[in-house]
């Protein structure tokens, strides 16, 4: 395995990551950065063995993302929040929901218990958007000379704020997947596909995507879809409405072409709506999977398989555009060698269309199926290709400080905005396999979400022997669950359930007190008891001792 030279420090970390001596990059050269975020893509939903410790799908096909994994480094312990809005708030702020500029714990509200469910705790009233004085990741990267762009899903910032420059976004193509139009005099709302409005013509939700809303025609199919096909017949699409995923890909490819001629680097954030329900893939890909027999008992749904590959083909187009921005076949103008590409998902898979096995449960929970996701970093000459880190845990909050270090941007003063995340730049350049001071992750949920989530706090802790453990604390009944993720990926055995050893109790006590200290430090809200209005207390210091038989 290659070793990489250490980052050179000049005052405010103005040097980016450095490569190996074999392919050393200019110390003052700042990479372009593309951050691709899938929506609801589960840990096992890619066919790559790198991103899921060999548990990838045997039915879904993702050759382009698999190629990205072969060119970069995957992280086996990559985590996020339980659903989309809190993930995006944490990403852009570098803070857990308990952070002063954040406060987004759930999509919409913490008062989302299923009908008829008794809720002994009155939930916390959360924020629905980042505080407007939040210094976003976009704003910090701009201080290092970056042009910034947003393509795809809204969330975490206030609706209606689509104008450029909001929170540091220079080029804004943020939108919903639904498009409202008047078609033949009737008001129609449609998901994912462009609509032919009586007055506006073919359109998506926002004006910036209108140039890409025209139906699939022969020229587009021949030029765009034929080169990326993978056993599908794109000619089935001729004359049909454009899919939002393709339209976003079109916009990103044009952006790359434009920025490849510019003197300054760019940061493009691309949060796709795929593969979130409703499951509406392209018809040609669905036809492919309907004709394909699944050899994977976990994954059998043809429309979802087609949606995964639609996402994959669009990622492939973006990767190809980096190698040949103007698409003329001559790669002399390519910028791939100086572009960091990151692929990630906003939360675990939503069971129904997919199966997250061997992980437990799904999106909306803090079990591994809800928060463990694929993560790939590629940066030629810096990150070892086809590598997998099986030790370092990475969380959504870590992207902000990591990218800031890579580009040499100064983080906001802690008095202005304290970072909960920590940079993993040293791990990317393989000065070490792990950061010893980054071995704890936290989740906190002071409310309810249908049957999947209830008031609880969770800590993920990597022990000194590099064994990964996760401790759950439920506020309603003061109960705990403890799992060894290194030996029990599916969280099937609660180590506290039956006559735990003294060693197990000692570990649980240690983790509980780390969790308790974090809750106190962050003044984490817990809601109030419905019966008397009193504040729900944090876990007691010796609470796990009740498991002593």
pLDDT score recorded for residue 328: 95
pLDDT of residue 164: 72
* 3-class secondary structure, 252: helix
* Calpha distance 189→210 (Å, rounded): 16
Count of alpha carbons within 13 angstroms of residue 472, beta-carbon side: 24
- The phi, psi pair for 236, rounded to 5°, reads -65, -15
Which H helix or E strand runs over 71? helix 63-71
Residue-level pLDDT at 29: 80
How far apart are alpha carbons 337 and 269 in whole angstroms? 19
- Nearest-angstrom CA–CA distance, 422 and 269: 20
What burial class does residue 484 get, using C-beta atoms within 10 Å of its C-beta: 0-12 exposed, 13-18 middle, 19+ buried? middle
Residues 6+ away with beta carbon under 8 Å from 198: 181, 182, 183, 184, 185
- CA 333 to chain CA centroid, nearest Å: 30
Which of 405, 118, 154, 395 has the alpha carbon at shortest distance from 269?
154
Residue 334 CB neighbour total at 10 angstroms: 17
| Long-range contacts at 233-239 (CB < 8 A, ≥ 24 apart) | 233/284, 233/287, 233/288, 234/284, 235/284, 236/283, 236/284, 236/287, 237/282, 237/283, 237/284, 239/215
Residue pair 144/196 in contact by the 8 Å Cβ criterion:
no
Residue 362's pLDDT is: 97
What is the C-alpha R_g of the chain?
23
Which element (helix H / strand E) includes 149?
Answer: strand 147-153
In angstroms, rounded to a whole number, what is the distance separating the alpha carbons of residues 510 and 494?
17
Tell me the C-alpha distance between 37 and 213, whole Å: 22
Averages of pLDDT over each 10 residues, the chain, 549 residues: 30 36 56 98 98 98 98 98 97 98 97 94 96 96 98 82 80 96 97 98 96 98 98 98 98 98 97 98 98 97 98 98 96 97 98 96 98 98 97 98 98 98 96 92 98 97 96 98 98 96 97 98 98 98 91
Rounded distance between C-alpha atoms, residue 9 and residue 5, angstroms? 12
Determine the longest span between alpha carbons in the chain, in angstroms.
Answer: 73
| CA 53/CA 174 separation, integer angstroms | 33
Please report the pLDDT score of residue 156 as a whole number.
78
Give the helix/strand (H/E) hosting 358: none
Give the residues across from 150 on adjacent strands.
172, 269
Q: What distance in Å separates the CA atoms of residue 315 and residue 191, rounded to the nearest whole number? A: 21
User: What's 289's DSSP letter?
Assistant: H
Q: What is the 3 state secondary structure string of 473-507? A: EECCCCEEEEEECCCCCCCCCCCCCCCCCHHHHHH
The residue assigned the tokens 């009155």 is 122
* Predicted pLDDT at 14: 29
User: E strand or H helix at 529, and its extent?
Assistant: strand 528-529
Cβ atoms within 10 Å of 510's Cβ, excluding its own: 16
Q: Which stretches within 223-301 are classed as H helix?
A: 244-259, 283-290
In this structure, the number of other CB atoms found within 10 A of the CB of residue 14 comes to: 16
As annotated, the active-site residues are 84, 155
């Amino acid at each position: 395995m290659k070793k990489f030279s250490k980052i050179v420090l000049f005052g405010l970390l103005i040097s980016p990551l450095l490569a190996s001596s074999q392919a050393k990059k200019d110390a003052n050269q700042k990479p372009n950065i593309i951050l691709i975020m899938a929506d609801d893509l589960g840990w096992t939903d890619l066919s790559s063995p790198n991103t899921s410790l060999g548990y990838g799908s045997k039915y879904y096909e993702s050759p382009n993302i698999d190629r990205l994994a072969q060119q970069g480094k995957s992280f086996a312990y990559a985590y996020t929040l339980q659903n989309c809005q809190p993930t995006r708030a944490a990403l852009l702020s570098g803070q857990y929901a308990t952070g002063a500029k954040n406060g987004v714990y759930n999509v919409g509200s913490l008062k989302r218990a299923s009908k008829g469910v008794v809720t002994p705790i009155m939930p916390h009233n959360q924020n629905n958007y980042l505080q407007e004085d939040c210094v976003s990741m976009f704003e910090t990267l701009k201080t290092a000379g970056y042009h910034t762009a947003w393509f795809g899903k809204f969330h975490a910032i206030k609706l209606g704020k689509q104008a450029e420059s909001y929170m540091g976004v220079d080029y804004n193509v943020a939108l919903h997947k639904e498009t409202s139009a008047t078609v033949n005099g009737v008001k129609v709302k449609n998901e994912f596909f462009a609509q032919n409005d009586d007055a506006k013509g073919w359109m998506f939700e926002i004006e910036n995507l209108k140039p890409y809303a025209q139906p699939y025609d022969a020229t587009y199919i021949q030029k765009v879809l034929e080169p990326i096909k993978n056993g599908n017949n794109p000619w089935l699409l001729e004359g049909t409405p454009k899919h939002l995923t393709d339209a976003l890909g079109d916009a990103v490819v044009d952006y790359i072409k434009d920025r490849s001629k510019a003197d300054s680097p760019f940061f493009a954030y691309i949060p796709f709506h795929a593969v979130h329900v409703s499951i509406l893939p392209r018809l040609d890909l669905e036809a492919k999977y309907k004709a394909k027999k699944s050899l994977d008992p976990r994954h059998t749904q043809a429309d979802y398989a087609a949606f995964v590959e639609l996402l994959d083909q669009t990622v492939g187009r973006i990767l190809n555009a980096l190698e040949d921005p103007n698409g003329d076949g001559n790669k002399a103008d390519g910028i791939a060698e100086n572009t960091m590409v990151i692929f990630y998902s906003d939360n675990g898979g939503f069971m129904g269309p997919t199966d997250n096995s061997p992980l437990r449960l799904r999106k909306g929970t803090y079990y591994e199926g809800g928060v463990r996701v694929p993560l790939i970093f590629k940066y030629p000459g810096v990150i070892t290709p086809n590598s997998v880190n099986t030790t370092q845990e990475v969380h959504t909050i870590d992207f902000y400080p990591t990218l800031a270090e890579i580009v040499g941007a100064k983080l906001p003063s802690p008095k202005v905005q304290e970072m909960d995340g920590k940079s993993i730049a040293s791990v990317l350049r393989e000065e070490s396999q792990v950061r010893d001071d980054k071995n704890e992750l936290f989740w906190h949920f002071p409310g309810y979400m249908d049957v999947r989530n209830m008031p609880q706090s969770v800590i993920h802790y990597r022990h000194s022997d590099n064994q990964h453990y996760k401790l759950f604390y439920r506020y309603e009944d003061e109960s705990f669950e403890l799992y060894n993720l290194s030996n029990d990926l599916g969280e099937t055995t609660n180590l506290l359930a039956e006559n735990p050893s003294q060693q197990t109790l000692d570990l649980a006590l240690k983790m509980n007190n780390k969790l308790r200290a974090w809750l106190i430090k962050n003044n984490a809200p817990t809601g109030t008891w419905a019966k008397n209005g009193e504040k729900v207390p944090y876990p007691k210091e010796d609470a796990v001792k009740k498991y002593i038989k």
